[in-house]
Amino acid sequence: MIARTISKKLGVNIDHVATLRQARLGEEPSVLEAALEAEQGGADSITVHLREDRRHIQDADVFELMEKIYVPLNLEMSVSPEILKLALKVRPPKACLVPEKRKELTTEGGLDLFSRKSPLIRTLDALLAKKVEVSLFIDPVEAQVREAARLGTYAIEIHTGSYANAMGKKKEREFFRVREAARLGQELGLHVHAGHGLNYENIFPLLAVPEILEFNIGHSIVSRAVFVGLAKAVQEMKKIIQAEGIGPKNSG
């Protein structure tokens, strides 16, 4: 059983810094500088998604981050052989396997662990053999959580997009699904993470779920950074997660 007293951690996704850079295909803003600013704000890890179409993060970014940041790099990746080949060269401390569709604006849901089984197992086993801590990005569904445990992964990251986008009673139902998936994950010996669509307000109910040990947040932090700077935006979120402060609307 994983101890419930472990302090919750914050992983900061900086993909959208690269999105801004790629809008002009130049060098600004610097992805590395963004990562270092996030570290100063208290990020426990830096997350980047190396997509197959390279729409934001580039191969060179991954290698540079691996070399120059101080906190662990968490590489979000598909099970594409090309992406796996690069990941095995980089050997990041952490990797999160995610589904990927070329035309989606952002990841639309969790992995289905019962489809494309061979590529998934090949990717998972190859990363585990290199001592990479692998998490599987899944929807809060009991069968998916149980399959993740059966596959022998280190952690699951619960897709919170449906929770983040829901309203009223539906939001309560989605919160319940996330909570129950987190509880089951811990019971099965998995580390439980959560992410997608989380911001400075909707994260509060999830903080009451003790089984969730880590939150991975990107868009809302980068958006907040436009007004206060990235280090401060990360610091504000970190305080919320550690229950040491309040959200930006009330922080003065």
The model's pTM is 0.91
Cα separations (Å) of 149 from 8, 113, 135?
Answer: 21, 11, 10
Q: Check 16, 39, 56, 76 and give the catalytic one.
A: 76
Q: Where are the domains of the chain?
A: 9-246
Kindly give the pairing relationship between strand 155-159 and strand 212-217. unpaired
Q: Check 16, 49, 159, 191 and give the catalytic one.
A: 49
The encoded tokens of residue 247 equal: 């959200």
Which residues fall within 8 angstroms of residue 113, CB to CB, at 6 or more apart?
Answer: 120, 136, 138, 144, 147, 148, 151
Residue with tokens 């907040």: 224
Question: How far is Cα 9 from Cα 3, in angstroms, rounded to an integer?
Answer: 14
Q: Where are the beta strands (DSSP E) in 139-224?
A: 155-159, 191-195, 212-217
Q: Indicate if 142 belongs to the active site.
A: no
Q: Indicate if 191 belongs to the active site.
A: no
Q: Indicate if 49 belongs to the active site.
A: yes
pLDDT tens by residue, the chain, 252 residues:
444 456 899 999 999 999 999 999 999 999 999 999 999 999 999 999 999 999 999 999 999 999 999 999 999 999 999 999 999 999 999 999 999 765 555 556 799 999 878 999 999 999 999 999 999 999 999 999 999 999 999 999 999 999 999 999 999 999 999 999 999 999 999 999 999 999 999 999 999 999 999 999 999 999 999 999 999 999 999 999 997 444 444 333
Which residues fall within 8 angstroms of residue 11, CB to CB, at 6 or more apart?
Answer: 43, 44, 45, 46, 47, 74, 193, 195, 214, 215, 216, 217
Look up the CATH architecture of domain 9-246.
Answer: Alpha-Beta Barrel (3.20)
Q: Check 191, 196, 211, 214 and give the catalytic one.
A: 196
Question: How far is Cα 237 from Cα 220, in angstroms, rounded to an integer?
Answer: 10
